[in-house]
Amino acid sequence: MNRTLTTTRRRAWAGALLAMAFIAGTTLATGTAQAQDHAGTAAPIQVEEPSLPAATPVPQRLITVREDGPRVITDWHEGEPIPPGYHPAQRTRTGAIIASAVTLGALYFLNALIAAIGTDVANATNSKNTVTGLFVPVFGPFITIAQSSSATADLFLILDGAGQATCATILVWGVTSPQTLLMRDGYAAPRFVPRPMLLGKNGAGLGLSGTF
């Protein structure tokens, strides 16, 4: 009887121990699974990037080309503001060159004609030609004054020499001093510029070069 009771108690204690071990194992496994689920569903860590200051837009200069404006503005001077759609350029003073060259040529032609007539008269009469100096341009009238004995002739010679000297001065100024003006963008007028030229080994001259 006592042996049977002891065996029954041992079995009861063994079953209780097994039950406690099972409960403990089940609880541990459940906690581990929940921990893994929480670890897998954890929200990702967001790192805020530093914000860079916005670039300041660079203002652009708007240039409007005037298609209805004049092609050339001649009354512009150095230092004055340039209107939109125009750019400075240089141009030969064609008007001054042509006017001075034509006037100088006409005066010299009359002087040369008078000198030629005087030469023919002197040869025909075996006399001295007192107007030979008129063959020299610009300085010819002043050379002839020294050989003249007429006050009226001297007056005309002075006016003639002053006219030729003035025309020669304007001609040189027009050739060597191009005019600065404003030209419309996209338009280029023909331009002539004087250039020195070599004529052979010992000769030199002046020529014109142009752009079109």
Considering only the C-alpha atoms of the chain, give the largest distance between any 2 of them, rounded to a whole number of Å: 195
Distance between CA atoms of 173 and 104, rounded to whole angstroms? 14
3-state secondary structure of 191: strand
Q: What is the mean pLDDT of residues 84-105?
A: 91
> What pLDDT score was predicted for residue 183?
83
- Of the candidates 198, 91, 140, 182, the residue with the CA atom closest to the CA atom of residue 132: 140
Of the listed ranges 39-53, 65-79, 116-130, 158-172, the one predicted with least confidence:
39-53
DSSP-derived secondary structure letter, 132: G
> What pLDDT score was predicted for residue 142?
94
131-186 pLDDT per residue, tens: 999 999 999 999 999 888 889 999 999 999 999 999 999 999 999 988 888 888 87
Retrieve residue 184's tokens: 């419309």
> What pLDDT score was predicted for residue 83?
87
Q: Would you say 112 and 134 are in contact if contact means Cβ atoms under 8 Å apart?
A: yes
171-200 pLDDT per residue, tens: 999 999 888 888 888 765 555 556 666 666
Q: What is the mean pLDDT of residues 69-77?
A: 80
Distance between CA atoms of 119 and 123, rounded to whole angstroms? 6
4 to each of 9, 35, 135, 209, how far by Cα in Å? 9, 47, 171, 141
Q: At a CB cut-off of 8 Å and minimum separation 6, what does 96 contact?
A: 170, 171, 173, 174
pLDDT of residue 41 exceeding 60: no
Q: What is the mean pLDDT of residues 69-91?
A: 84
SS3 content of the chain, % helix, strand, coil (to 5): 50, 15, 35
Q: What percent of the chain has pLDDT over 90?
A: 34
Using pLDDT thresholds of 50, 70 and 90, give the confidence band for residue 71.
Answer: confident
Q: What is the mean pLDDT of residues 35-45?
A: 50
- Of the candidates 164, 163, 162, 144, the residue with the CA atom closest to the CA atom of residue 154: 144
- Of the candidates 78, 75, 47, 82, the residue with the CA atom closest to the CA atom of residue 61: 82
> What pLDDT score was predicted for residue 80?
86
**End-to-end Cα spacing for the chain:** 140
3-state secondary structure of 212: coil
pLDDT of residue 130 exceeding 50: yes
Q: What is the mean pLDDT of residues 30-40?
A: 53
pLDDT of residue 58 exceeding 50: no
pLDDT of residue 13 exceeding 70: no
DSSP-derived secondary structure letter, 146: T
